[in-house]
Amino acid sequence: MPAPQPEPRTRPAWLMPVIATTVVVGLTAATAGYLLASGNKADNAATGTSAIPSPSASAATASSTPTPKPTPLVVSIPGISGPSGIKQGTWEDAVKKLTDGGIAKDNIGWVSPFSDQPKPADPAGMTVCAMPAGHDQPVGPTTKVELSVIEKGGSCPAVHGNPKPKPSCTETGDYKKVSDREFKQMVRNTTAHLMGCFTIYGEIVQADSATGTTSVRANTCGEKKQPKYGFLSDCDTNSILTELISTGKLNGVVKGDLFEAKVQVGIDTTYQTTLGGSMTAPTFYVKEIKSYGSVD
């Protein structure tokens, strides 16, 4: 009797569609992945970039970064625009700003900005026009700086070295005459009248080796007086007369001379007395002086 044969296998009707769908989806995914990878390679080749940076590229980038340099010291002075000289500031403010910036005070000098004017003897109380060309660059503690200075109330030139464009009271001869009372009020507050032009009178009380040839000490007042009993009465304001620019005007006066002087008000002077103390006196910059007598 022959052995029984197994029943033939049969596939469910739904199996073939499922297999076909799975194959199609797999082929589609593989094709998309291949195309995407090929596109990325093409983009990277075109742009020269890579998804993963190489160590050598990172090192090259780091080495090309510049090392920061220290910022140089640049001094700016409030109210001063630079070589153009359009704006103005005070001598004291300019010196303070420069010394605060580290420049030694001994390295700060001064000149006249006008081609036809000599260098002032003392810049105190004057106006700074600008730092001449070349000094608006970064500076250090050893930099030498020359500031252009003019008298208070004057006009700075548009360009350093130009002739003075506008005359001041010293050039126009506008020296105000005042009464004794007005003079005493003025010397009580010389700061308010700094570099103002006045005509004053007085008596020379010291003109020797201690005062030198460009300064004298005098008793001053606002009105012209004649001597009585060997001195000039009612004219007793102890004052210093000096030359802002050395001209020799004071070299010819001697003790006892009575004078009329055209002056500008300066900064008060404090000096040592023969007894070891100190005294502060109003200071006048002499523009013109002439004797009209003597107490001797």
pLDDT tens sequence across 160-196: 677 766 667 777 889 999 999 999 999 999 999 988 9
How many C-alpha atoms does 217 have within 13 Å on its Cβ side? Answer: 18
- Chain centre distance of CA 35: 69
With 0.85 as the threshold, say if the pTM is over it. no
Confidence (pLDDT) at 75: 47
pLDDT tens sequence across 236-283: 999 999 998 788 899 889 999 999 999 999 999 998 888 888 999 999
How many C-alpha atoms does 59 have within 13 Å on its Cβ side? Answer: 3
Q: Which is nearest to 259 in space by CA: 203, 187, 184?
A: 203
Tally of CB atoms within 10 A around 43: 10
